[in-house]
Amino acid sequence: MDFNPYKVLAVDPSADPDVISAAYRALSKKFHPDVNKTPEAEARMRELNRAYDMLKDPAQRRQVDADLARAASTGSYSARGASSSYSSRPGSTSYGSTSSRTRSSGPSANTGPDWSGLGDSVRRGAENIYNNFRNVVDDIKPNPPTDTTLYLLQKRLEDAATGKKIKVQVYYEGPGNRKVCNVQASAPNERGQVTAGEVYLDNAGMFDLTLAVAEAERVLQEATKPIEMNADHDVYFRQAVRGLGKTYIALEIIKKTRSPEKEALLLLGEKNARTERDGVVSTQSLTRLQQIDRIFKAALEAMR
């Protein structure tokens, strides 16, 4: 078999569908023609699309596995030859892995911010994506806006009834005047305490975020099967986008055990923050998620 989709996506042949999807999204934001203007980007993107089409369909993936197994048996190709940047390291839990899809009694100890179990499950998925894609973007945290900052976009969304706020700013940062998007959010937790978080994103991160929000909206409205089941809620969608400077943003669609409707969760946080309690998890209605989607798309346009 001349074309190995696992090698193209840099995943192990045993990778879960969630890991394959995550790898495709990470590589797409690196090679998509909208963000990568090099001559080879278009050809690379065609390869990524072909590989993902082959692996996202269960029937096609079984055929790929069979073809690779036959090639391996004759010594012409190794089905396990693709090195993986996304497979789990010893002692870690793979994002979307089978081991994480078990019912638990609640959040484990020492897992970070003092959020509810729902927020904790988002954090675990987000941090796993952060670890796996640690080489995709810059680790240097951008400088925050100042009184002299030149803004390309400033948007704010507030809900007076619930106290939830989100602020999106696109501006020039640093000596190179690179474009950066800063997203800040705050919301009261179950005890009424206001928690806050922020993420810094470059152009590729904003592109990936808009795709994630669009997919979250679809899952929120359509009948889908859960990807993870817990004691008090089921997860239908989870996607994390790693930002600059160890920040990240995550979306999760869940349905509580005793609730008839799905709901969206939005998380903004910072990995290994000094207090290890920086971050916010807030529920979002479909209407509010659509409003956030429009703001993020405007931010992406401002960064191009």
Q: pLDDT of 27-36, one tens digit each?
A: 887 788 777 7
Predicted confidence at residue 122, as pLDDT, reads: 57
Nearest to 266 by CA among 282, 277, 279: 282
CA angle 187, 101, 26 (to 5 degrees): 70
Banded pLDDT at 10 (limits 50, 70, 90): confident
Distance of CA 249 to the CA centre of its chain: 7
Query: What are 120-149's pLDDT values in tens digits?
Result: 555 565 555 555 544 444 457 888 888 888
Phi first, then psi: give them for residue 156, nearest 5 degrees. -140, 140
Say if residue 80's pLDDT is above 70: no
**DSSP code string of 252-301:** EEEEETT-SS-EEEEEEEETT-SSS--EEEEEE-HHHHHHHHHHHHHHHH
Predicted confidence at residue 181, as pLDDT, reads: 95
Residues 6 or more apart whose CB falls under 8 angstroms from that of 76 comprise: none
Predicted confidence at residue 287, as pLDDT, reads: 93
For the ranges 20-34, 269-283, 289-303, the maximum mean pLDDT occurs at 289-303
Predicted confidence at residue 74, as pLDDT, reads: 64
Q: Dihedral angle at the C-alpha atoms of 132, 135, 136, 141, nearest 10 degrees?
A: 110
For the ranges 70-84, 138-152, 197-211, the maximum mean pLDDT occurs at 197-211
Over residues 158-176, the mean pLDDT reads: 90
Average pLDDT taken over every residue of the chain: 77
Please give the domain boundaries of the chain with CATH numbers for all domains. 5-73 (1.10.287.110), 104-303 (3.30.2450.30)
For residue 146, count other CB atoms closer than 10 A to its CB: 8
Query: What are 214-262's pLDDT values in tens digits?
Result: 999 999 999 889 988 888 889 999 988 888 888 889 999 999 888 889 9
207 vs 133, more confident: 207
Query: Strand, helix or coil at 123?
Result: helix
Q: Per DSSP, which regions of 162-278 are E strands?
A: 164-173, 178-188, 194-201, 228-229, 233-242, 247-256, 263-270
Q: How far apart are CA 117 and CA 13, in angstroms?
A: 32
Do the beta carbons of residue 171 and residue 180 sit within 8 Å?
A: yes
Predicted confidence at residue 105, as pLDDT, reads: 34
Predicted confidence at residue 136, as pLDDT, reads: 41
Query: What are 90-105's pLDDT values in tens digits?
Result: 222 223 333 333 333 3
